[in-house]
Amino acid sequence: MEDIDQLLQKIRSQNMAAIAHAITLVENRDDGYLTLLDKLYNLPRHSFVVGITGAPGSGKSTFVNQLVPQALETQKKVAVIAIDPSSRFTGGALLGDRIRFSDAFPFDRVFFRSLASRSSLGAVSSALFSILQIFNGALFDCIFVESVGAGQNDLDIKDYVDMVLLFLVSGMGDEVQCMKAGIMEIADLFVINKIDLYPPAPLFLALLNHLSLHLSSETAQSRIVQTDALHNTGFTELWHTIENFRQTCRYQKRSLEKDTALLLKNEVERLFTEKHIQKKLQELLSLGTSPYQMVEKMQKLLEEMLGDPHD
Amino acid sequence: MAKKIRVLIAKPGLDGHDRGAKVVAKAFMEAGMEVIYTGIRKTPEQIAHIALQEDVDVVGLSSLSGGHNTLFVDVARWLAKVGKKDVLLLGGGIVPEEDVLYLKQNGFAEIFAPGTDTKTIAEYIISRVYPKLGNE
């Protein structure tokens, strides 16, 4: 086991190689990773974490590229965590979010890490929570987390970040799409992107109608921003909105209970991809003749382990 | 759980022909690796910093412009300069045989010529990196 205290010290002094190495350590659950995370978790919160989510191709990566220079004007250190999907078939991943990322940013102030979602099911990465602890420990001021291209039910990012930006493009459905449960419920800010390509008015009005049901018209309007990432339209305004939110709302409330539940959920998702668990499930197949019977037997086994839910 | 091999595929210099780089990136994904593709026209310095931040096990460079002797070796120098150690350095593209030796003397483990089966490259990487990761 390597010297975790030494690694922690290097992370605290913002050594880029140490941060990069720590992320790998945590992702791979290498020796000492829990010791490191225990120490990092108890440090005071420093980083403001902005989640960026939305459909594939809605402009998230291009947006991050435009926002980083804005952030660098007031923030010392900025991190980008860009997540792309892992293949369920091969376990591999093609991480291509860097392609949109400019070459001109100073490497000593901007840390960009591409992550594969691995076993996570909700458009984030199973190690995201822990990786955020590393950047927080390294005193990064602002962290942008770009989710996997997300659909209506991909809400997990909400649990990890202080502010959620939802990327939308006009022309992808009627007003009822804006009213549905799911991803529309988690946005702190709606970003209508690609306004140079698709007239944003119908989507803007639909969103405004929907938000005005429980917000004043002024507040509702302030929750929607219209951008054109390619021509850098709307970004200064957008950054001001984020800054404003940071100053007024600051951090999402966290608790030991909430964080434990989050880690546990990741752990369960991960376990089901582990070979020895899959082997165990195979063994259980001898318990019954239909999937319903077998699931019922497995439930009973779990209840025996965890106690009666009706107690 | 087998640890994932992380690979950076990069194109140094003014060379926009990236079909080969993309094909190789996709093939490595299909071989179970996590592949980061930089996009075209990166400087050796940028590639080295990216390799450091992404903490990759392998850096694969692609060139079809003829600039490999300068650019590839520059990447090797920058990797050492930024402190990125313990990385398997590979090259691919149009590289004449007489240059392969020069590159191998300058930090490159292997240079893959056009026509190489992507499976051959993936197997080579796995055989070199798995022992380091402690995978079976």
In chain A, the residue whose alpha carbon lies closest to the alpha carbon of B40 is A99
A-chain residues near B14 (CB < 8 A)? none
Q: Is the per-residue pLDDT at A272 higher than 80? A: no
Task: For chain A, say whether B3 makes contact (Cβ under 8 Å).
Answer: yes
pLDDT of residue B33: 97
- Asked if residues B50 and B36 have their Cβ atoms less than 8 Å apart, the reply is yes
Q: Which of residues 56-115 of B touch A (CB under 8 A)?
A: 82-84
In chain A, the residue whose alpha carbon lies closest to the alpha carbon of B50 is A112
Interchain pair B37, A96: CB under 8 A: yes
B-chain residues near A94 (CB < 8 A)? 25-26, 29, 35, 37
Burial class (CB in 10 A: 0-12, 13-18, 19+), A15: middle
A-chain residues near B6 (CB < 8 A)? 24
DSSP H helix total and E strand total for chain A = 12, 8
DSSP H helix total and E strand total for chain B = 5, 5
Question: How far is Cα A71 from Cα A50, in angstroms, rounded to an integer?
Answer: 11
β-strands A48-54, A163-169 pairing: parallel
Query: How distant is the Cα of B98 from the closest Cα of chain A, in angstroms?
Result: 32
| Ordered alpha helix ranges (H), A148-274 | 175-179, 201-211, 217-222, 235-249, 256-271
Q: Give the DSSP H or E segment for A291.
A: helix A291-306
Enumerate long-range contacts of B106-113, CB under 8 Å, 24 or more apart: B106/B72, B106/B73, B106/B76, B107/B73, B107/B76, B107/B79, B108/B72, B108/B76
Query: How distant is the Cα of B112 from the closest Cα of chain A, in angstroms?
Result: 21
- Asked if residues A100 and A64 have their Cβ atoms less than 8 Å apart, the reply is yes
Take residue A234 and report the two structure tokens written for it: 């709307």
Domains, chain A, ranges and CATH? 1-42 (no CATH), 45-255 (3.40.50.300), 257-306 (no CATH)
- Asked if residues B6 and B55 have their Cβ atoms less than 8 Å apart, the reply is yes
Q: What are phi and psi of B114, to 5 degrees?
A: -55, 145
Would you tell me how many other CB atoms lie within 10 Å of the CB of residue A245?
Answer: 19
CA-based torsion, A179, A181, A183, A187: positive or negative: positive
SS3 of residue B89 by DSSP = strand
Quick: pLDDT tens for A1-49.
569 999 999 999 999 999 999 999 999 999 999 999 999 999 999 999 9
A-chain residues near B23 (CB < 8 A)? none
Query: How distant is the Cα of A285 from the closest Cα of chain B, in angstroms?
Result: 23
Query: How distant is the Cα of A17 from the closest Cα of chain B, in angstroms?
Result: 6
Query: How distant is the Cα of A70 from the closest Cα of chain B, in angstroms?
Result: 21
Question: How far is Cα A204 from Cα A36, in angstroms, rounded to an integer?
Answer: 45
pLDDT of residue B1: 59
In chain B, the residue whose alpha carbon lies closest to the alpha carbon of A86 is B34
| Ordered alpha helix ranges (H), chain B | 19-30, 44-54, 68-82, 97-105, 118-133
Question: How far is Cα A48 from Cα A105, in angstroms, rounded to an integer?
Answer: 20
Task: For chain A, say whether B4 makes contact (Cβ under 8 Å).
Answer: yes
Domain carrying residue B121: 32-130
Interchain pair B46, A114: CB under 8 A: no
Residue B124 pLDDT class (50, 70, 90 cuts):
very high
pLDDT of residue A172: 78
Quick: pLDDT tens for A180-222.
888 888 899 999 999 888 888 889 999 999 999 889 999 999 9
- Residue B117 domain-assigned (yes or no): yes
Task: For chain A, say whether B50 makes contact (Cβ under 8 Å).
Answer: yes
Beta strands per DSSP E along chain A: 48-54, 78-84, 93-95, 110-116, 142-146, 163-169, 189-193, 224-226
Take residue B90 and report the two structure tokens written for it: 């590979």
Closest CA to A49 of A303, A284, A252, A262: A252
pLDDT of residue A121: 78
Quick: pLDDT tens for B50-94.
999 999 999 999 999 899 999 999 999 999 999 998 999 999 999
CB-closest option in A21, A94, A99 to B26: A94
CB-closest option in B29, B42, B46 to A93: B29
The total domain count for chain B is 1
Quick: pLDDT tens for A283-298.
777 777 788 888 888 7
- Residue B87 domain-assigned (yes or no): yes
pLDDT of residue B98: 94
Closest CA to A61 of A84, A77, A78: A84
- Residue B9 domain-assigned (yes or no): no
**How far from the centroid of its chain's Cα atoms is residue A18's Cα?**
22
In chain A, the residue whose alpha carbon lies closest to the alpha carbon of B79 is A17
Interchain pair B50, A28: CB under 8 A: no
Q: Is the per-residue pLDDT at A108 higher than 70? A: yes
CB-closest option in B29, B38, B49 to A92: B29
- Residue B81 domain-assigned (yes or no): yes
CATH number at residue B41: 3.40.50.280
Helix, strand, coil percent content, chain A, rounded in steps of 5:
50, 15, 35
In chain A, the residue whose alpha carbon lies closest to the alpha carbon of B85 is A17
Interchain pair A23, B55: CB under 8 A: yes
Closest CA to A168 of A195, A141, A133: A195
What percent of chain B has a predicted confidence (pLDDT) above 90? 82
SS3 of residue A120 by DSSP = coil
Enumerate long-range contacts of B105-113, CB under 8 Å, 24 or more apart: B106/B72, B106/B73, B106/B76, B107/B73, B107/B76, B107/B79, B108/B72, B108/B76
Interchain pair A92, B32: CB under 8 A: yes
Interchain pair A107, B53: CB under 8 A: yes
Amino acid (1-letter code) at residue A302: L
- Residue B11 domain-assigned (yes or no): no
Scored b (16 or more CB within 10 A) or e, B31-54 reads bbbbbbbbbbebebbbbbbbbbbb
